[in-house]
A = this chain, B = another copy of it.
Amino acid sequence: MIVETPTRAPGGTLAIVGLGPGPAEWLTPEASQLLDDATDLIGYAPYVARVPERPGLRRHGSDNRVELDRARHALTLAMDGRRVAVVSGGDPGIFAMAAAVFEAIESGEARWRDLPIRVAPGVSAMQAAAARLGAPLGHDFCVMSLSDNLKPWSLIERRLRAVAAGDFVLALYNPASMARPTQLADAFALLRSCKDGRTPVAFARAVGRPGESITLATLRDADAALADMSTLVLIGSSETRMVPRADGSSWLLTPRHHGVNP
């Protein structure tokens, strides 16, 4: 008679859940349901704090720099039979926890690959910013993180040059931090050397949250000091322009056509 050692407690699941930019109106019903079903909540403490406390829900908040440890903790809890929700702001697939979880699986225990894992997408910061601005992402665009914690600055420069060579609109995440105060200024300087100075630039700060603000500028005079870690920076293509409104503000538009008449 063979007695198998159980390798995984029954019922364990892992959901990687996008909370969106902040307000409840941007939280998908799927994400709400997964949060309601969870026994354990894991994530960067400010995101965990967004989910209301309730009996039976264990909350495991952590620092922002320990994504891989956090992912391994979540996988271990799911193996123990818990229903774990790993939470990210925005979309977990875009500069957030989904990659960390699958990296942990790739380098971790073989039996983790057996777990039921579900990723629940969310509204990402660039989409919230674009919604407030009008239609800046109306044509081809690129999405970059300006953090060089996990890639060399030389790669960021190479990619910024490629974005300019392709005349893409660019959405920049993580444009500034205490540890990297000059990255965005350096990026603007590089882009000024290969793009028109009149290119529109938008600083969209904390969209959907307290302190929301939108500032429009041109690449020539864009001030990197306007960005903090809550800011999404959008830089136009050669077709991006401002559409003045009656109240003196402007929408930002990248039309659907480029180099041909509509």
Which residues in A have some Cβ–Cβ distance to B below 8 Å? 20, 24-30, 33, 67-68, 91, 93-95, 98-103, 105-106, 111, 113-114, 118-124, 127-128, 130-132, 134-145, 150-152, 155, 158-159, 161-163, 165-168, 241, 243-246, 251, 253-260, 262
Contact = CB atoms under 8 A, between A and B. Distances in A.
A133 B113 CA distance: 14
A105 B262 contact: no
Nearest to A156: B140
Report the copy number of this chain in the oligomer.
Answer: 2
Contact of A260 (B25, B151, B162, B167): B151
Given A91-B127, A103-B256, A98 B25 contact: no
B259 A138 contact: no
B258 A151 contact: yes
B140 A102 contact: no
A77 to B, nearest CB: 19
Given A94-B130, A113-B243, 8 more contacts: A93-B131, A105-B243, A139-B145, A140-B159, A150-B256, A158-B167, A162-B163, A162-B166
Contact of A106 (B20, B139, B243): B243
Main secondary structure of the interface of A (DSSP, over half): mixed
B113 A121 contact: no
A99 B162 contact: no
B99 A135 contact: yes
Contact of A138 (B93, B165, B244): B93
Contacts of A143: 137, 140-143
A188 to B, nearest CB: 18
B134 A119 contact: yes
A242 to B, nearest CB: 10
Nearest to A258: B151
Given A29-B27, A123-B123, A102 B134 contact: yes
Contacts of A150: 256-258, 260, 262
27 contacts: A25-B30, A25-B33, A26-B28, A27-B28, A67-B256, A68-B262, A91-B127, A93-B138, A95-B138, A95-B139, A95-B256, A98-B134, A102-B138, A103-B256, A106-B241, A113-B245, A114-B245, A119-B134, A119-B135, A120-B131, A121-B123, A139-B145, A151-B257, A152-B259, A155-B258, A159-B166, A161-B166
Contacts of A121: 26, 123, 127-128, 130-131
